[in-house]
A and B are shown apart, each in its own frame.
Chain A
Amino acid sequence: MKKFVLAFSLFSAFALPAIAQAREVIFTTELQNYGGDGAYLALYLTNAAGEYHGTLWVSGEKPKYYKHLGDWARGSRLDPAEYDGLTGASVTGGRTLKVTLNLDDSLIDSGYEVRVDSAVEDMRDVRADVAAPLTTEGSGKPVSGRGYVRSLTYELQ
């Protein structure tokens, strides 16, 4: 019995706060009808100083083209450990990419920004196509892009 109490206490002390700290966030990226091949997109976070902090998702499966996602490529140094398990197919014009993931609560309202770099074959590369501060207040409010991205919306669950 004592062992059970001890185990439960330890679980409560370590595991429960960890669960409570993770927060589900839905990132919705709507693309313009730009009339080209599928777009490569990198969704990533920058810190309050504007420096790369971490990768959220990469659309586009061939790493040899990742260098065209300029700011993200520079920040992540294209280290596969940064994007392993976080890649999928490129997204064609007019479509909407919806990524649902769990983020540490401490990243919200702390000066972090969600950015999207975009690139399309034979068309220009767009660094920070869209950038949106990751705040409670900004949840659910679309932010317009300046390249292939029509808008980015995130929803804190």
Chain B
Amino acid sequence: MKTTPIILSLSLLILSGTALADDDCDDPVASWQPRENLREKLEAEGWTVRRIKVDDGCYEVKGRDSNGVKVEASFAPASLMMMEWEREDEDDDDDRDHSKRPLNSGPTNANTSLPNNGIVKGRPTVTVE
């Protein structure tokens, strides 16, 4: 008799937990743009699109971005806004060395390329104390 509300509550809790944990795209299907629109948009920005598929409600694009970097990126199907971007040759192996990386205690720059966003002039000097 008393177990029904408990089961119901637990079910709702589990369902709501699933919904909260899901941070993928949730655009209603009726508002989706055709994937060709995304392809045209990206190619106009200098991308080379190899494949577009639907994954977890997002358009998942594999190809090379405007800098020639091999990437896998997710886009919201309605707005075509980028949701996630990842270098394709970076796999989960780097999750493991996340904790291994020593904290910066002196001047550092993680990558060697010079900034080119038109805001920062030259290479910044960065320390963590």
Contact = CB atoms under 8 A, between A and B. Distances in A.
Contact of B110 (A74, A78, A89): A89
B4 interface: no
Interface stretch (A5-13, A58-66, A135-143, A144-152): A58-66
Nearest to A64: B86
A124 to B, nearest CB: 12
B103 A104 contact: no
Given A63-B86, A100-B124, A89 B108 contact: yes
Interface residues of A, number: 41
26 contacts: A22-B121, A54-B119, A61-B101, A62-B94, A66-B85, A74-B81, A78-B82, A81-B116, A83-B117, A84-B115, A85-B111, A85-B112, A85-B116, A85-B123, A88-B110, A89-B104, A89-B110, A91-B128, A95-B128, A99-B126, A100-B124, A100-B125, A101-B122, A101-B125, A102-B122, A104-B121
Given A22-B121, A103-B120, A85 B115 contact: yes
B51 interface: no
Interface of B: 65-67, 69, 81-87, 90, 94, 98, 101, 103-104, 108-129
B119 A103 contact: yes
Contacts of B85: 63-64, 66-67, 78, 80
Contacts of B125: 99-101
Interface of A: 22, 38, 45, 53-57, 61-64, 66-67, 74, 77-89, 91-92, 95-104, 107
Contacts of A87: 110-111
B109 A53 contact: no
B119 A85 contact: no
Contacts of B104: 88-89
A71 B4 CA distance: 43
B97 to A, nearest CB: 10
B128 A85 contact: no
A88 B108 CA distance: 8
B20 to A, nearest CB: 12
A53 B111 CA distance: 22
Contact of B126 (A53, A78, A98): A98
A55 B119 contact: yes
Given A54-B117, A55-B117, A96-B129, A84 B67 contact: yes
B66 A81 contact: yes
